[in-house]
Amino acid sequence: MSHRSIKERMLSAIRPTHGDPPPARWQQRKSAQTRQRLVDGGVQCLIQRGYAGLTTAAVAELCEVSRGAMHHHFATRLELVGAVIEHVLYQRMHRFLEDYFTALKRRGEELLVEIACESHWQSVQTNEYAAYLELTLAARTDVELAELFNPASRRYDQIWIGEMIEAFPQWKAHWDNLKLANDVTLALHMGMLLHRPVFGEGERMAQLQQVATRIVQSLYDAP
């Protein structure tokens, strides 16, 4: 299976399911466009001001949309949050796959482990991931959000795991190692990101990234 089709399949599995039929009418097109603007605005708020700052008023102002229109598209704050969650999860996967396959094509498959680790560390430092992180963190103390986000997050994980073997056929022999390497990378990179204010961005962080790569490599080489 080609890179392109793997990527497409993974993305379509996580794609937001709002207006699947392509909007034919003018009005619907404009509506969908406004809706998307609002979701993007929600993501922006999330990144810049955190989940607590993701407020209907702030989003409306940021998007230059009236509060009435806001309410028309998303009757309640949580409804907007739901759309933001879907969008963020989609964007996160999109961003990683984009980077990963581009780098893979450019640098060659023999550097697979190194490229995967680097791409993931890069993807963790994007705005898309910042939004995802913010939701993860807020869901720890906000039960309403948790009920909405955690199932979505687990579903993301399941899709990811399920498709990973397609993207990394080299690992087929030691499937458990791949899963473990994945989990280590996810956890370690999130921890590294959150420790940035303490660790800084210099040598200390570079060494950690080196360790991350070494672990994955050893799991790749091991039986």
Partner DNA sequence: GCTTTTACCGGCAGTCGTGCCTGTTTTATG
Partner DNA sequence: CATAAAACAGGCACGACTGCCGGTAAAAGC
Should residue 189 be labelled a site residue for a second copy when binding is judged by CB under 8 A?
A: yes
Q: Which stretch binds DNA (CB under 7 A): 68-76, 104-112, 162-170, 198-206?
A: 68-76
Interface characters, 35-74, with a second copy (x: CB under 8 A): -------------xxxxxx---------------------
Should residue 222 be labelled a site residue for a second copy when binding is judged by CB under 8 A?
A: no
Distances from the Cα of 104 to the Cαs of 117, 124, 141, 164, in angstroms?
12, 18, 39, 15
- In the set 3, 15, 31, 208, which binds DNA (CB under 7 A)? 31
Distances from the Cα of 53 to the Cαs of 43, 83, 134, 163, in angstroms?
11, 16, 11, 34
Distance CA 154, CA 142 (A): 17
- The nearest distance, CB 156 to a second copy, in angstroms, is 8
Answer whether 41's CB lies under 8 Å from 110's CB.
no
Nearest to 221 by CA among 113, 138, 145, 137: 113
- In the set 57, 75, 78, 187, which binds a second copy (CB under 8 A)? 187
Distance CA 207, CA 119 (A): 16
Should residue 44 be labelled a site residue for DNA when binding is judged by CB under 7 A?
A: no
Should residue 36 be labelled a site residue for DNA when binding is judged by CB under 7 A?
A: no
Should residue 134 be labelled a site residue for a second copy when binding is judged by CB under 8 A?
A: yes
- For residue 115, the tally of other CB atoms under 10 A from its CB is 22
- Closer residue to a second copy in complex, CB, 69/146: 146
Nearest to 88 by CA among 8, 179, 7, 15: 15
- The nearest distance, CB 151 to DNA, in angstroms, is 20
Distance CA 212, CA 33 (A): 41
Which residues within the stretch 96-115 sit at the binding site for a second copy (CB under 8 A)? Answer: none
Distance from CA of residue 202 to its chain's centroid? 25
Distance CA 64, CA 87 (A): 20
- In the set 11, 13, 164, 215, which binds a second copy (CB under 8 A)? 215
- The nearest distance, CB 130 to a second copy, in angstroms, is 8
- The nearest distance, CB 128 to DNA, in angstroms, is 22
Should residue 18 be labelled a site residue for DNA when binding is judged by CB under 7 A?
A: no
- In the set 36, 44, 48, 55, which binds DNA (CB under 7 A)? 55
